[in-house]
Structure 1
């Protein structure tokens, strides 16, 4: 009878019988439970979308590492005029790069002389190497390496302002992302007697080579701090007795009526486009606007800051506070 053969090789070994086995219910223990919901394609090992997601994560990590390196590493000012301007302004620098075979004009000669007088290393490099150092910028044969900027802590800036012989005057920037605007604000802050500048950690320009140049070297003289949370820092300063005044096109008063100018003050400058953020505006004790001729919508952030700081300085001189 078919299936009853006793010939060698025709019989199954004991325990090798297929099908149901006593006590198992016909299934292995793990088969008694459901497998749960099907994972998303990005989470299934070996799936094309999972490989794509993994590759994207690697690329994002690489980009973040490059951003971190650029933020923490030295910067290079490129171009003959910018390099000479930085050296004239006394901006800290670690090396002056001069391309081999560059045509030496008055600016090149002055840059080399100023660097040598200040003890800055003057290095001759191949033009291709200078292209790499400056990131492909138009360097005209000159590059100046600027070290990473050293920021202060907000508490240090406030302490310096409180220890000053003049009433505290601080400047805070809310979302100013153009480094040229930042450099110009720092320059105005130094010119009109501010004891420090506060930047938010996110959505803000930092002291780069461009900001250094625009500040005309004053970034080395005015303490600049970074706040992890700008609103919280402003509230802490308000609790220490400083009045918070924000620049706003629809301000409570115009700059001519800024009576708070002679007391301890923080002037908050909003971003180039949207102005003050909602939380920062709510933190301000007063908002101030600048009267302008008809047909002009707004001023550049750094120009507006300079106008208000100049008015604060004028009022303080008139009151004999400075």
Structure 2
């Protein structure tokens, strides 16, 4: 081929400068040899992780009255079935209606809970940023806690043998809900939670209580150890549940007496100061292959045994 351009005019050559480009880059390296690609991906993943850590966390704007929102169709149905004290049901406009939405509408109407239809962007702004609301949310007011000493005095005035449960470091609201349910089932008069480092009566606790929270009061103790001391001065015996207790639950002599059962956290158990205030540390005999019971189950077992021993003594 001649080195000519249009109309046969001579065309200037490249002097061989483009020859290397025409030769290509050679054969593609094997995957195990392409270490730079792995390093690049590894660096990119590490950088993305660091950016995620540095990114400011987006939180749900706090509701001015301390209320809480239960979001999602399943959660909303469960909350209304559990008699959670909802004050408003929010439903997004033009949502697809299924059996859950129909039941939400029926339960809300039965309890005369106001229902508001709002736009989806409005609902998006109300709920947590990382929450999928499925077009429905329920507003739950802040829980009104009772006073522990007042609950004790009320039980005594009604000629009841006091039976209370106090939580020491239990932070899972589902455990709290389960304990409320068990306390109500076995004749207790209330559950006591400390103001700090403890689960509170959130929507999750309400749902787990399966309606018992509507019947059994939960009291708030500013200082749990001071409250325990108040109960002891009023003639109430205090027992702590712990796997290493020196008294086996079936051998508990204090079951028929006025009683406060203190439950520690699943990981750390009872705190040292709280354990020192207890009249007895009680353990539940379990199979050696099982390390421990969680707070909710341990409390249920203890309450059942106390209830059984009291019934046998009558």
Question: Would you call these one fold, judging by a TM-score over 0.5?
Answer: yes
128 and 150 in structure 1: CA distance in 2 versus 1, 3 angstrom threshold:
same
Q: Where does residue 234 of structure 2 map in the other structure?
A: 240
> Displacement, 1:166?
2.9
CA distance in structure 2 between the partners assigned to 1:179 and 1:72 by the alignment: 21
Q: Note if contact 2:71-2:138 (Cα within 8 Å) is conserved in structure 1.
A: yes
Q: Where does residue 98 of structure 1 map in the other structure?
A: 91
Q: For residues 108-167 of structure 1, give each alpha carbon's deviation from its aligned partner in whole angstroms, at most 9, with x where no partner exists.
A: 101011101211111112223223322132222221111110011122111122123431
Q: For residues 43-80 of structure 1, give each alpha carbon's deviation from its aligned partner in whole angstroms, at most 9, with x where no partner exists.
A: xxxxxxxxxxxxxxxx9xxx9xx99x569611011121
Q: Note if contact 1:99-1:124 (Cα within 8 Å) is conserved in structure 2.
A: yes
Q: 1:115 aligns with which of 102, 108, 112?
A: 108
Q: 2:150 aligns with which of 156, 166, 169?
A: 156
* 2:221 pairs with 1:211: no
Q: 2:137 aligns with which of 136, 143, 163?
A: 143
Q: Where does residue 78 of structure 2 map in the other structure?
A: 85
Q: Note if contact 2:149-2:230 (Cα within 8 Å) is conserved in structure 1.
A: no
Q: Where does residue 295 of structure 2 map in the other structure?
A: 301
Structure 2 length as normaliser, TM-score?
0.78
* 2:215 pairs with 1:200: no
Structure 2, unpaired ranges of 5+: 1-55
Q: Where does residue 258 of structure 2 map in the other structure?
A: 264
Q: Where does residue 180 of structure 1 map in the other structure?
A: 174
Q: 1:127 aligns with which of 120, 132, 141?
A: 120
Q: Note if contact 1:157-1:224 (Cα within 8 Å) is conserved in structure 2.
A: no
CA distance in structure 2 between the partners assigned to 1:264 and 1:164 by the alignment: 13
CA distance in structure 1 between the partners assigned to 2:143 and 2:173 by the alignment: 13
Q: Where does residue 27 of structure 2 map in the other structure?
A: none
> Displacement, 1:103?
1.4
CA distance in structure 1 between the partners assigned to 2:64 and 2:294 by the alignment: 26
Q: Where does residue 287 of structure 1 map in the other structure?
A: 281
Q: For residues 259-301 of structure 1, give each alpha carbon's deviation from its aligned partner in whole angstroms, at most 9, with x where no partner exists.
A: 1111100000101210100000000000111111121101111
Q: Note if contact 1:235-1:283 (Cα within 8 Å) is conserved in structure 2.
A: yes
> Displacement, 1:316?
1.2
Bigger mean CA deviation after superposition, 203-212 or 83-92: 83-92
**Across the two proteins, how many residue pairs are aligned to each other?**
256
* 2:313 pairs with 1:314: no
**SS in structure 2 at match of 1:93:** coil
